[in-house]
Amino acid sequence: MGTLVAGSQLLGFINYLDAFTVDSFYQYSRQIEADLSGNFTYKKISTAQMAVGSTGDIVVVNGSGLSIPVNSLLNGSDGNLSWSNVGGTVQELQIWQGGSFSGSAVSGGTELLDAMVSSSQYVLTYGADQLIVNGSGLPTSVAALGGLIHGGYSGGNVGVSSITLKEGQESATLSLSSSAYTITAGDYQAVLSGSNLPTSFSPAYLEALFTGNIGAIGGSINSLSVSQISTGATILSESGITGGLTMAQFFSGQFLADVGAVQAPASVIGAELDRLDSAVAAGTVTAIQPTDSGTPTLDVTGRQLTDTHALALLKGGYNLAVNALSSYEIERTLLNSHVTSIAVADYGISLGYNWSSLEDAQSSGRLTGVALLDSGVPNIEISTGELAADQSILKMIQSDFTVTADSYGSSVTAKGYAGHGNILNLGNFVGAVTVTPAGDGVSFTVTTTYAGTDHLSNFNGLEIAGQTYIVAATPGSGTVTAGNITELYGAVFGRVPDVAGLAYYQGVLQANPSTPLLTFAQWFLASPEYTNNSAHNYAQNSVGDAQFITDSYNNLLHRAPAAGDVAWYQANVIAPILGSAASGTAAYATAESLAHATLLVDFSASSEFLNDVQVTAQHSFSSQHWLFLI
Work out the pLDDT band at 433, boundaries 50, 70, 90: confident
Output phi, psi for 594, to 5 deg. -65, -40
| Residues linked to residue 50 through DSSP beta bridges, in sequence order | 45, 61
Work out the angle at residue 368's Cα, subtended by the Cα atoms of residues 363 and 372, and round it to the nearest 5 degrees.
110
**For residues 378-399, b (16+ Cβ closer than 10 Å) or e, as one string?**
bbbbbbbebbeebeebbeebee
At residue 82, the pLDDT reads: 56
Percent of the chain with pLDDT over 70: 78
Q: What is the DSSP letter of 241?
A: -
**What's the mean pLDDT in 388-402?**
94
Q: Where are the beta strands (DSSP E) in 82-206?
A: 87-102, 105-117, 121-126, 129-136, 158-167, 170-176, 180-185, 188-195, 200-201
Find, among 491, 507, 499, 504, the residue nearest to 569 by Cα. Answer: 491
Coil/strand/helix, residue 537: coil
Residue-wise pLDDT tens digits, 286-305? 788 887 888 999 999 999 99
Q: Is the pLDDT of residue 140 over 50?
A: yes
Q: What is the DSSP string of 254-317?
A: GGGGGTEEEEE-HHHHHHTHHHHHHHHHTTSEEEEEE--SSS-EEEEETGGGG-HHHHHHB-S-
Work out the angle at residue 515's Cα, subtended by the Cα atoms of residues 513 and 519, and round it to the nearest 5 degrees.
155
The CATH code belonging to domain 466-630 is 1.10.3130
At residue 7, the pLDDT reads: 32
Q: Is the pLDDT of residue 517 over 50?
A: yes
Q: pTM surpassing 0.85? A: no
Higher pLDDT, residue 352 or 27: 352
**For residues 117-143, b (16+ Cβ closer than 10 Å) or e, as one string?**
beeeebbbbbeebbbbbbbeebbbbbb
Work out the pLDDT band at 19, boundaries 50, 70, 90: very low
Residue-wise pLDDT tens digits, 533-560? 888 888 888 899 999 999 888 888 888 9
Q: Is the pLDDT of residue 6 over 50?
A: no
Residue-wise pLDDT tens digits, 43-67? 566 788 877 765 567 778 888 887 7
Residue-wise pLDDT tens digits, 259-280? 567 777 787 788 778 878 887 8
Parts of the chain belonging to CATH 1.10.3130: 466-630
Q: What is the DSSP letter of 619?
A: S
At residue 429, the pLDDT reads: 64
Q: Is the pLDDT of residue 605 over 60?
A: yes
Q: Is the pLDDT of residue 253 over 80?
A: no
At residue 24, the pLDDT reads: 44
Work out the pLDDT band at 441, boundaries 50, 70, 90: confident
Output phi, psi for 77, to 5 deg. -75, -20
Q: What is the DSSP string of 300-332?
A: EETGGGG-HHHHHHB-S--EEEEEEE-GGGHHH
Q: Please state, in angstroms and rounded to a whole number, the distance separating the CA atoms of residues 398 and 396.
A: 6
Mean pLDDT of the chain: 79
**What's the mean pLDDT in 182-201?**
78
**What's the mean pLDDT in 364-387?**
94
Rounded to a whole number, what is the largest CA-CA distance in the chain?
97
Least confident piece of the model among 20-34, 364-378, 440-454, 481-495 = 20-34
**What's the mean pLDDT in 499-521?**
90
